[in-house]
Structure 1
Amino acid sequence: MPWIWLRVLLALTLAVGGGLLGHLLGGAWGYALQAALTGALLGVGLLFSLDMLRGHRILRWLAESLNGPPPAFAGFWGELAARIERALRARERTADAERERLAQFLSAIEASPNGVLLLDASEQIEWCNQPAAEHLGLDRQRDLRQRVTNLVRAPAFVAMLQARAFDQPVQIPQPGGRGLLSIIVRPYGDGQRLVLTQDITERERADAMRRDFVANVSHEIRTPLTVVAGFVETLTNLPLSEVERKRVLALMAQQTQRMQSLVGDLLTLARLEGSPRPPADTWVPLARLSSAVELDARSLSAGRHRLAFDWGDGVELAGSEPELLSAVTNLVSNAVRYTPESGQIEVVWRRRAEGAGEIVVRDTGPGIAAEHLTRLTERFYRVDGSRSRDTGGTGLGLAIVKHVVQRHGGELLIESTPGVGSCFTLVLPASRVRAPATRLALQP
């Protein structure tokens, strides 16, 4: 560090120079020694005064929050000011980088769908993100420094904080009954708490649907199995006449067919949910679908209904032929099953103005009350359970139709009036409908 030696050399030079000047001036009055010492002290004092002035200017620069460059000095004070500035600027850059990382971290937390809430040792809110405020009904600004249990009064949550039982999450209703929350609390720091909230409304609804689905499947299969088991026992233990034996076997065959239909529909649903969307470049003639649908409908009706079919002028549909056939067949079969004898069933193909197409299945059956319409496509939902089983329905037909039409980009419209009849409309988008003439015109 050469500036130290220069500083020492400067001090010695001023002391020696002041001493020599004092010796020369004091020698004339006989006080050479005293004058030399006084001159040396004055030389060192001059250097000290200059240092005080420069130090004051540096302190004033520091007190003014480092506005502008540091004072321009040479030597020791210039080196000191430059080093202070470099250290402070480096510290500022580090602090800016930390603030940037903190801002990015908070932005990431804000982007999370889960809520994050920070509590101090007194359980007062230090910070929360927007999802947490929405989940718990908080105001992010107004409720800061408020005790969380004064704002979130769900008994399970309050009991968790009071008991410090943080090993298991608790579930509480959202404010206003909008849904269900799962809350996890984790301690950190000096008595602080990290509160994580998650909206589990959809998850709980899906779990409930799965539980209902398993229960419904078990019930639907258990009933015919019980019947078949009873008939097997009857055939085994009782002497039956030929007529009675044939009747029992016929009933067993009926229940077996019912179980086969149920399993078939379940497999169809599983295949629809687990497979990719149908291709948009595979074209199926509607006439090919219509012949299979008509044959099935006439066989199921057995002449008990007035059937009318109008399939238009021969269009083609893009998609999966088995899926489309299953959807239309389910609609027509439902109409046949639920329409009383001598009732009318009409199946019509129509082209909409915007190019979309629709298959309309209209019947003169008993109709469906308005409160049931929104739930008709739920699995195993039945307006009249006993009547559905009598007609051989599995409760999955309309669920299959809904899945098929949605996979093809369309929709299922349902209209019904009790005592008048029902109308089911399967709508397909224009991109999946074309006339044969269009296809031929494009060929070279």
Structure 2
Amino acid sequence: MIFRFSAQQFVVKQCLILLASGLIGYWLGYFWLALFVVTAATLAWHYKFLLGLIKWLWHKNLLYPPESKGIWGHVYDGIYRRIKSYRKKQKQLNLRIRQYRDGAEALPDAAIVLDLYFNIRWSNKKANRLLGVRWPQDAGQRITNLVRSPVLNKYVKKMDFSEPCSIVSPDSPEQQIEMRFMLYGEDQYLMLARDVSQTKRLEKMRRDFVANVSHELKTPLTVMQGYVEVMLDQDDISEQWRKSLDTVQTQVSRMDRLVQQLLVLSKVEVPAEEDSRHNVHLPKLLDKVMEDVHWLNKQKGHEIAVEIDPRLGILGIESELKSACSNLIVNAMNYTGTGGRIDICWKKQGDYCLFSVKDTGCGISEFDISRLSERFYRVDKSRSRDTGGTGLGLAIVKHVAANHNAELLIESQLNQGSTFTIKFPASDSFTIRKLESAIN
């Protein structure tokens, strides 16, 4: 039964009861006794329903409250409506949880919900098959205690989840697992893991194929170049044949550069081991690069401004860093017109060490910037052929940057020049002592 509570009616009713009992007691000559009896009866009535309420709440598993009238009818009615509303919301919540879990179970990836301390809150069945994580048995366990991997441990401690973490499966050395962490809600992470073994194998096959083909091309190209040079040295060769052989030599040289860059790219695509990195005297390395490209500047007469911190070194692989720096400088020289300006800078700025090459060349449109580091992508193919470009230089730079925990940044406006920057973390830098500089 639904009661409509009114405070005014309740107060009026209580006053009328007390007034009536007072009048009756006054008429009988027992005013205070009548008030006492009515008050005691009222209290007994209230205690009766209060005990009934306690019994219903604690000892009876019933949805509907006991029948009552008066103020207790209002109390029972209010409690009943609250319980009914709560059960309705609980059913809706349970339905949503079931839908969420069904959706998570349908994912092709292993899904694990973690708290801010990386303890497991929930996981789907794929997580059990892929990582051996069982729910609810493993609830509360730290993920690094169940999936034992030094790579995952370091990744979690670093707290930088912008890139995925790739580990070898604890159960199978041939299985590669890629993990991604992302904030989920306010106080938890969602970890998605998937088997990327097949993708890794295909990538390795592609790299091996490119490396093997490039290596096999080196010998015939060397032979062709040798024969062309011998024929060009002949005095009795006609002008027509000399022109043709010059063209052949140019194309063979261009093909040789392409093969060399393919070999470099296939090498830097594989992330290097941490042990292979060492302190690199980058100012000295940049001096050597500038000497190597000096002949190119003679042809175009660029104005080159160099700002290099002579005491700033970096932890890395010298051959890869040299390749990345020379590619950026040569690109700037190739795509900057005669008499243009090129600024080369190596300095520490805040939490980063920046190697940048700024030019006043033709610039790049906003549409092309996002694709510049793709293999063989060239903004102007005819211009690239004229400059001897292969479309691999920036792809090499991008992979070298990734191997050094760095990032390649490109800023450019069409017909207003470009700035290419490799941003290294300052934690990987070191200060070159004067003694070391003198010895080197």
TM range (shorter): 0.3 to 0.5
* Higher alpha-carbon Rg: 1
Please, what TM-score do these two structures have when normalized by structure 1? 0.46
Please, what TM-score do these two structures have when normalized by structure 2? 0.47
